[in-house]
């Protein structure tokens, strides 16, 4: 290739970012594609984000208008906490509501590297139930004493809501957004997905159990506490790593296009 042609070549996103950022992009894109496979999408209206390693004030999020199956490592948008676009090969920008929610958590909780938000039928249904998540399954028991709630304030477009969202989340990693959906965060993309996976399952189980129309049985508090503490101790270690690696193998077996 001549020097002139080389000079005209547009660098790929992979060429423009660090190896650590590229890995974060791969992980987050995989997360989007897994969510699509599991039916967690709401067309173009929900969002997952991840911090850029080494640039804690920057995070990655989906381009506004792309569906989850269209997300790739390269087309994720990089934005800073002030909302400035830093890298966006699609030219689509980011969802304003996504920015409000995700920037609030990333700014307030430096321990959390990824934030995932869904509007699934089961999650939104539980968010509208007065008692929230019921401790009626092993999946739900993981969140005993660990779940936060945030009241619905309309579409998340008001920056003033950020302080209340952060206040309600506190030091927890999972939250039910009333009349809206679910939010889960983690110290890695894998941990955030693990949190959301079991929370989504707990909500689906709850809706199915309530639909049965018969009285429900709930474990006693000692059993719930044991389950929650066991899960909390294991989360973030080899248990989370094995879970994440299995998720990625599941995805790679059918589609690797997210790696582009």
pTM of the model: 0.93
Query: 28 and 76 in contact (C-beta within 8 Å)?
Result: yes
Query: 140 and 202 in contact (C-beta within 8 Å)?
Result: yes
Q: What whole-number distance in Å separates Cα of residue 196 and Cα of residue 225?
A: 20
CA-to-CA separations, 218 to 91, 141, 209, in angstroms, rounded? 50, 10, 12
Query: 35 and 192 in contact (C-beta within 8 Å)?
Result: no
**Structure tokens belonging to residue 191:** 């941990």
Cα angle: 98, vertex 102, 104; to 5 degrees: 120
- Residue 140 half-sphere exposure toward CB, CA atoms < 13 A: 19
How does pLDDT run along the chain (260 residues), one tens digit per residue? 344 433 345 689 999 999 999 999 999 999 999 999 999 999 999 999 999 999 989 999 999 999 999 999 999 999 999 999 999 999 999 998 889 999 999 999 999 999 999 999 999 999 999 999 999 999 999 999 999 999 999 998 888 999 999 999 999 999 999 999 999 999 999 999 999 999 999 999 999 999 999 999 999 999 999 999 999 999 999 999 999 999 999 999 999 999 99
């Amino acid at each position: 290739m001549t020097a002139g042609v080389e000079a005209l070549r547009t660098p790929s996103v992979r060429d423009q970012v660090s190896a650590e950022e590229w890995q974060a992009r791969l992980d987050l894109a995989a997360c989007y594609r897994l969510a699509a496979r599991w039916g967690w999408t709401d067309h173009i209206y929900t969002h997952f984000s991840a911090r850029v390693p080494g640039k804690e004030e920057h995070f990655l999020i989906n381009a506004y208008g792309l569906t989850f199956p269209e997300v790739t490592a390269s087309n994720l948008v990089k934005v800073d906490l002030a909302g400035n676009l830093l890298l966006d090969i699609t030219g689509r920008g980011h969802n304003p509501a996504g920015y409000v929610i995700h920037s609030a958590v990333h700014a307030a909780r430096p321990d959390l590297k990824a934030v995932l938000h869904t509007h699934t039928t089961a999650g939104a249904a539980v968010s509208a139930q007065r008692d929230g998540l019921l401790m009626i399954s092993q999946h739900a028991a993981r969140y005993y004493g660990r779940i936060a709630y945030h009241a619905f304030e309309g579409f998340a477009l008001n920056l003033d809501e950020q302080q209340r969202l952060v206040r309600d989340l506190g030091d927890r990693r999972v939250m039910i957004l009333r009349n809206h959906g679910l939010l889960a965060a983690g110290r890695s993309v894998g941990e955030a997905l693990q949190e959301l996976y079991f929370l989504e399952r707990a909500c689906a189980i709850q809706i199915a159990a309530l639909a049965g129309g018969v009285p429900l049985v709930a474990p006693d508090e000692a059993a719930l506490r044991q389950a929650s503490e066991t899960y909390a101790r294991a989360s973030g270690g080899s248990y989370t790593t094995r879970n994440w690696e299995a998720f990625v193998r599941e995805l790679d077996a059918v589609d690797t296009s997210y790696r582009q």
